[in-house]
Amino acid sequence: MTAQTQIDSAGAPAQGRCIKFGDNVNTDVIIPGRYLVSIDPVELAEHAFEPLGPEVQQRLRRSKVVVAGRNFGCGSAREQAASCLIGAGIQAVVAVSFARVFFRNAINTGLIAVECPEAVAAAGDGDVVTVDYTAGSVTVGEGSYPFTPYPAGLRAILEAGGLLPYLETTAGGGR
Amino acid sequence: MSAPRTFAQKVLERASGETGLKPGDIVDAYPDLYMSHSASWRCIKTLERMPGRELYAPERIAMVMDHLSPAQTSRTAAHHQLCRRFAAEHGIEKFWDVDAGIAHLVLMERGHIRPGMLVIGTDSHSTIYGALGAFGTGVGFSEITATWVTGKLWMKVPESIRVIIDGPLPAGVFPKDVMLRLIGQLGADGGTYCSLEFHGEWVRGLSVSERSTLCNLSMELGAKNAVVPADTVTETYLAELGVLRDAYDPSLPDPDAGYRETVRIDGTRLPPQVACPHTVDNVRPIDEVAGTKLDQVFIGSCANAKYDDLAQAAAILDGRRIDPSVRLIVTPGSKQILTRAIADGIITKLLDAGALMTNPGCGACAGDGGVMADGERTLSTANRNFRGRMGSYESEIFLASPATAAASAITGEITDPRPFVTRALTRSAT
């Protein structure tokens, strides 16, 4: 039932065609509340972006990277907003900015989420986008755009494939 | 002597055991309470994948079955069953079943939330706990599970924004209107990752219920948390629940703490506000949308289904009938609220006016009962109007105060409540 993980320990780049959205894409659009009865990324992926219609859903399926404007993932704390994208085959989200819970959920489910406004401006819907997490850059066509790398602690979680796999690799600090 | 600190800095320093924290620092914090509502089953299923892990502090776990309650499918019923069994097996005393109401309101009215606490919850509107001077913030369900076993969670120290609201508000205008105005002004990401502190004389005069509307709606600015620093109002509220002053450390912000900005909003001439489809920051003064035909009015949610919200709606609906073209659904926020509203005759007034009462809980706000068909419109007292949240993807949600909701139910279209409020006041005075 797990569709993780996007990042292997070598930190291989995420690369592929992108699907581009505008500002303030909210969690109810990413995965409607009626489907939160599941936590299976693959089952959830069938309903990802359902409110926007089948054409958008088909394009999502053909994409590896989501490109979005400001405040991507605003709204609910539902973790499935990140995991449904993983289930749909998305490897990375590049946005101008993220809503904070979505950002947390992305890191904690092992989905690369980087803020890179220049790359968003450069990318057109359907362009091939490469997110080189290790190098800290997003490549769109001829252009390469740097992003601020995560702090070490968050990076360790992401590289483990998410928070729970990360805990399995550590003593966890329990009482 | 240490540098002046914001509320967020003080709480996160205490919860992490670190000192001298600055915005942007990332710490391992030990939350005082872990709230998981109907998402609890997801946490339990996740825990099952971590064999051998013990619970760090069962007394810090709070579970409330508020969404999809009572169960309407066997799948949901199985989720509730899983939670019940888990709570019994692990001695989770803060387990509240399908009868209790919305998690946030239940935990506040039962004395589980105290000033200065760090509370994480599987619900974005966990910011509401700031109404009792606590630091509440939403997280994902895996994070709650991780905290169950480790007791800690990574948190970034937020920048703080000081919000000063000048009052009093005109009759018929409420804290909900102030917050919608603020969200319209700052935008849906105007407070992203920030701690919002509400200050000023008018704020200090608000009840805990009114404060909870401020802190709840702050989430729609993207805030990490929101707080009305604890004061005598907080103290009195908690004392009535048997929680005494020596049971908490309010972590009050220092007067000269560092804020990213100060936002000031004048409520004294504010008209009622309405958030239009499909974003909460698409806010208009009521004049611009009055007359919009409605199919349904919903009074519910953690934002505005408290006792005073129902009382305000009932005062307007008292002795009147709703328009036959609309359905009025009223979902009290908690069983305690419902009980009090029954005792005071508020529920009878709502029923007589034509309202449909449902059981306490999240109800239609989360798309559970009271959903819409294609082309329908609801005016709701909730905090979100995203496309498809209440049924059809081709339906529309408008957000407003309970007073605006009641006035609109009477006419069947979006209606300025101020004339109704004036009349209600006149009648109660005679």
Spell out the per-residue pLDDT of chain B, length 430, in tens.
579 999 999 999 999 999 999 999 999 999 999 999 999 999 999 999 988 889 999 999 999 999 999 999 999 999 999 999 999 999 999 999 999 999 999 999 999 999 999 999 999 999 999 999 999 999 999 999 999 999 999 999 999 999 999 999 999 999 999 999 999 999 999 999 999 999 999 999 999 999 999 999 999 999 999 999 999 999 999 999 999 999 999 999 999 999 999 999 999 999 999 999 999 999 999 999 999 999 999 999 999 999 999 999 999 999 999 999 999 999 999 999 999 999 999 999 999 999 999 999 999 998 999 999 999 999 999 999 999 999 999 999 999 999 999 999 999 999 999 999 876 555 554 4
Q: Which of A163, A165, A129, A136 is nearest to A150 (CA)?
A: A136
Report CB contact under 8 Å: A28, B123: no
Euclidean distance between CA atoms B401 and A71, whole angstroms: 26
> Which H or E run includes B298?
strand B296-299
Q: What pLDDT was estimated at residue B424?
A: 59
CA distances (Å), origin B401, targets B35, B175, B332? 27, 8, 15
DSSP letter at B412 equals T
Q: Which two tokens stand for residue B388?
A: 């498809």
Tell me which of A149 and A43 has the higher pLDDT.
Answer: A43
Euclidean distance between CA atoms B369 and B222, whole angstroms: 27
Residues of B in contact with A71 (CB under 8 A): 188-189, 192, 222
Euclidean distance between CA atoms B360 and B70, whole angstroms: 10
Same structural domain, B206 and B232: yes
- What does chain B come to in residues? 430
* In a domain? residue B248: no
DSSP letter at A72 equals B
For residue B58, the domain's CATH number is 3.30.499.10
Q: What would you report as the CA-atom Rg of chain B, rounded to the nearest whole angstrom?
A: 21
Q: Which two tokens stand for residue B373?
A: 């068909």
How many other CB atoms are there within 10 angstroms of residue B298's CB atom?
A: 28
What is the number of CB-based contacts under 8 A between chain A and chain B? Answer: 128
DSSP string, B32-96: SEEEESTTHHHHHHHHHTSTTPPPS-GGGEEEE--TT-S-SSHHHHHHHHHHHHHHHHHT-SEEE
Domain termination residue (choose one: B234, B265, B296):
B265
Euclidean distance between CA atoms A161 and A169, whole angstroms: 11
- CB-nearest to B139 from A32, A77, A174 is A77
Residues of B in contact with A28 (CB under 8 A): 384, 386-389
Is ipTM > 0.85 here? yes
Same structural domain, B26 and B86: yes
* In a domain? residue B3: no
Strands B160-166 and B261-266: parallel
Whether A6 shows a pLDDT value over 80: the answer reads no
Report CB contact under 8 Å: B142, A164: yes
Max Cα separation, chain B? Answer: 68
* pTM exceeds 0.90: yes
Residue type, B219: M
Whether A172 shows a pLDDT value over 80: the answer reads no
Q: Nearest-CA residue of chain A relative to B76?
A: A37
Same structural domain, B224 and B359: no
Hey, where are the domains in chain A?
14-166
CA distances (Å), origin B87, targets A33, A59, A99, B55? 25, 43, 32, 12
Whether A10 shows a pLDDT value over 50: the answer reads no
Same structural domain, B199 and B280: no
Same structural domain, B56 and B156: yes
Q: What part of A 132-161 touches B (C-beta under 8 Å)?
A: 151, 153-154, 157
* In a domain? residue B249: no
Same structural domain, B59 and B105: yes
Q: Which two tokens stand for residue B44?
A: 């339990």
Euclidean distance between CA atoms B336 and B350, whole angstroms: 17
Residue type, B195: S
Report yes or no: B397 and B279 within 8 Å, Cβ to Cβ.
Answer: no
Residues of A in contact with B386 (CB under 8 A): 26-29, 75
> Exposure of B373 by Cβ count < 10 A (0-12 exposed, 13-18 middle, 19+ buried)?
exposed
Domain termination residue (choose one: B265, B298, B324):
B265
Domain A14-166 fold is Aconitase; domain 4 (3.20.19)
* In a domain? residue B250: no
Euclidean distance between CA atoms B407 and B316, whole angstroms: 7
Q: Which domain holds residue B198?
A: 8-242+255-265
Residues of A in contact with B154 (CB under 8 A): 153-154, 157
Q: What pLDDT was estimated at residue B178?
A: 98
How many other CB atoms are there within 10 angstroms of residue B155's CB atom?
A: 24
- How many domains does chain B fold into? 2
Same structural domain, B115 and B83: yes
Same structural domain, B89 and B158: yes
* In a domain? residue B2: no
Q: Nearest-CA residue of chain B relative to A29?
A: B387
Residues of A in contact with B121 (CB under 8 A): 77
Euclidean distance between CA atoms B330 and B356, whole angstroms: 6
Euclidean distance between CA atoms B295 and B397, whole angstroms: 10
Report yes or no: B71 and B98 within 8 Å, Cβ to Cβ.
Answer: yes
Euclidean distance between CA atoms B74 and B82, whole angstroms: 12
* Mean per-residue pLDDT of chain A: 91
Q: What pLDDT was estimated at residue A13?
A: 87
Q: Which of B337, B325, B276 is nearest to B101 (CA)?
A: B337
Residues of A in contact with B26 (CB under 8 A): 151, 153-154
Whether A150 shows a pLDDT value over 90: the answer reads no
Same structural domain, B260 and B324: no
Q: Is A77 at the interface with chain B, CB within 8 A?
A: yes
Q: Which of B228, B233, B193 is nearest to B212 (CA)?
A: B228
Euclidean distance between CA atoms B331 and B361, whole angstroms: 7
Report CB contact under 8 Å: A24, B189: yes
* In a domain? residue B247: no
Report CB contact under 8 Å: B75, A37: yes
